[in-house]
Amino acid sequence: MSFKLVNIGFGNVVPASRIVAVVASTSSPMRRLKEEARKGGKLVDASQGRKTRTVIITDSGHVILSAIQPETIAQRFASDEDGIGGASPAEETKRRKRRELS
């Protein structure tokens, strides 16, 4: 069984199938959502002490904080076809060559 994982920064990954939304953390509603999740025990802080830039909402109601820009996470979510997103350019080149050979 293979499922797609999305790199949300600093070695942290989230199953792509569980992600409902990827949004910027700067709005007041997102700040309220973070506080509600914290009080409810459903907040996961994956920002490693850095400024939170993205709020990821999962189908289980968990709220995940990341220091990576929402656009970057969205690109990783949309572009990666086989495994963990956010691979280095060298790894992406190797993957493309393997696909071409198969």
**Per residue in 26-63, pLDDT tens?**
999 999 999 999 999 999 999 999 999 999 999 999 99
pLDDT digits (tens, 9 = 90+) for 63-90: 999 999 999 999 988 875 444 544 556 6
C-alpha distances out from residue 12 to 9, 72, 93, 99, Å: 6, 14, 22, 26
- The percent of residues above 70 in pLDDT, for the chain, comes to 78
pLDDT of amino acid 83? 44
What's the predicted TM-score (pTM) here?
0.76
Is 99's pLDDT higher than 90? Answer: no
pLDDT of amino acid 89? 61
Domain boundaries along the sequence of the chain: 5-93
39 Cβ partners below 8 Å, 6+ apart?
none
Average pLDDT, the chain: 86
